[in-house]
Amino acid sequence: MKISRRTFSILAGAALATAGAPGIRAAMAGTLEDIKSRGSLRVGVTQAPPWYSKDPSTGEWTSGVGVSAGKAMAEALGVKFEPVEVTWGTAVAALQSNKIDIMFVLDATAERKEAADFPEAPLLYYSLAVLAKDDLNVTTWEDLNKPEVRISVPQATSMDKFLTENVGKADIQRFPGNTEAIAAFQSGRVDAVCLFHPPLIAARQKLGAGKIVVPSPVKSNPTSAAVRKGDTEFVTFVDGQLKDYYQSGKIQEWYESFLSGFGLDPKSAPPIIKELL
């Protein structure tokens, strides 16, 4: 069959575009096929104990619930666990550009659902809390809703959204991630840092100062794992894995293992399985 110059140009351009756009290749092949072909599951990670924790002496991502879940899922697929550093605010963009395959501990907000897919099964449950100065009077969210109260929070997170909508009168200072938000509290730049309670337990242990408060009304959330949009096969696979982690109690075991390794008594921390709360 004779191919015209115009047809040849179109076909060649399409081939080059496919070769140069990993997101297109992944969409054509399917995420599971792409992962198996590559031999690794690329998991978004960010320094945020107890979800993700890097060993400073080796630079390896060795512990945390998200790391444990990522390694377990990679093992189920028969591939390597490949951590890729992102921030909470850039995780969805990293999925869209095919830099990562999954990001654990990401809440399925309405905004995120427009750009990424989420399985139905929850990964875990947690409550919104603050690590505050000992002399800061706080029992309700309204106690924080004052211009003189300075609160740090990771930018573009569900925590940021909640503060903006409910504590909008406060001086809300936004940072790239948990580490920077906690550092602002440690340095005295803010009066409180707002996160879900598990990271605050680890932060309080490390800092040795401040008080953890779960203000009323209590805000408890399920969190999940985000994947690239449009791949139902991969979403179904992830949903099945998360159900197993949750119902078997593996997710709670990973959490307690991290707390123990961090020098904390797991019994002193609220569980992350709703039925145990």
Q: Using 50, 70 and 90 to split pLDDT, how confident is the model at 10?
A: very low
Q: How far is CA 202 from CA 47, 49, 163, 178, in A?
A: 12, 7, 22, 11
Compute the average pLDDT of residues 132-151: 97
pLDDT tens for residues 233-247?
999 999 999 999 999
Domains 21-123+223-276 and 125-220 share a fold: yes
Cβ atoms within 10 Å of 273's Cβ, excluding its own: 15
The answer, yes or no, to whether residue 119 has pLDDT greater than 60, is yes
Strands 80-85 and 40-45, how do they pair?
A: parallel
pLDDT beyond 90 at 20: no
CB 185 within 8 A of CB 64: no
Q: Indicate if the alpha-carbon torsion angle 80, 81, 86, 88 is positive or negative.
A: positive
Rg (CA), the chain: 21
The mean pLDDT value of the chain amounts to: 90
| Residue 1 reports pLDDT greater than 80 | no
pLDDT at 270: 82
Q: What is the mean pLDDT of residues 124-145?
A: 96
Q: What is the pLDDT of residues 200-232, one digit of tens each?
A: 998 998 899 999 999 999 898 899 999 999 999
pLDDT band for position 11 (cuts 50, 70, 90): very low
Residue ranges of domains in the chain:
21-123+223-276, 125-220
Mean pLDDT over 188-207 rounds to: 93
- Per-residue pLDDT averaged across 247-261, rounded? 95
Going by pLDDT thresholds of 50, 70 and 90, the confidence category of residue 29 is low
pLDDT at 9 (0 to 100): 43
Grouping H, G, I as helix, E, B as strand and the rest as coil, residue 76 is helix
- Mean pLDDT score, 186-195: 98
- State how far the Cα of 95 lies from the Cα of 7, in Å rounded to an integer: 33
Q: What's the pLDDT tens digit per position in 61-96?
A: 999 999 999 999 999 999 999 999 999 999 999 999
CATH of domain 21-123+223-276: 3.40.190.10
Q: How many CA atoms lie within 13 A of 254 on its CB side?
A: 26
- What pLDDT is stored for residue 258 in this prediction? 94
Q: Is the pLDDT of residue 4 over 60?
A: no
**CATH architecture, domain defined by 125-220:** 3-Layer(aba) Sandwich (3.40)
pLDDT at residue 5 greater than cutoff 80: no
